[in-house]
Amino acid sequence: MGIEALRQDWAAWLAVVPALLVVVVVLRALYRRSARGQLARALKSHGKAQKNLLEARKAAEQAELKLEKLSGRSDKVKPRVLEEARGSLEDCRALEKIHADKCQVTMNQLRRVIFEEFPPARHDKLREKYLPQDVADGRPFTF
């Protein structure tokens, strides 16, 4: 097995590269359709939604602080600037609401994947791991 074998079987060696690519694509597609693949995708989108929600909350807090600062000096600030700060705060709060809704949707998708793709014996363990806010705290329910 040396240069001579490579010369004789060059076409077979060339066919190995596309065959490996096909195998990789098929394995990736099978993983994405599996329960673990769906869970990983749902977790990734939920994490991204949570990150966007935190960024929106931070922007809303900063806009609120800016409005408070400008309101405190309202006698020296142009009314246009004060109105722009109010509008900015409203926009930030609306964006925060949108991201909170998106986070809720991704959380529901995560619940759906856990419920539909995994056996009932694993539901509690997966919810405890990935959705800690769903786990009961053990206290009795009161109004």
Look at residue 44 and tell me if it is in a domain. Answer: yes
Total domains, the chain = 1
Look at residue 15 and tell me if it is in a domain. Answer: no
* pTM for the predicted model, two decimal places: 0.75
Look at residue 109 and tell me if it is in a domain. Answer: yes
Measured between alpha carbons, how far is 133 from 129 in angstroms, rounded to an integer?
10
Give the per-residue pLDDT at 132: 79
Measured between alpha carbons, how far is 106 from 3 in angstroms, rounded to an integer?
56
Look at residue 60 and tell me if it is in a domain. Answer: yes
**pLDDT tens digit string along 55-91?**
999 999 999 999 999 999 989 989 999 999 999 999 9
Which structural domain, as residue segments, surrounds residue 47?
Answer: 35-132
Give the per-residue pLDDT at 143: 60
Q: Tell me, what amino acid is at 139?
A: R
Of 50, 55, 42, residue with least CA distance to 100: 50
Residue 75, judged by CB atoms within 10 A of its CB (0-12, 13-18, 19+), counts as: exposed
Look at residue 137 and tell me if it is in a domain. Answer: no
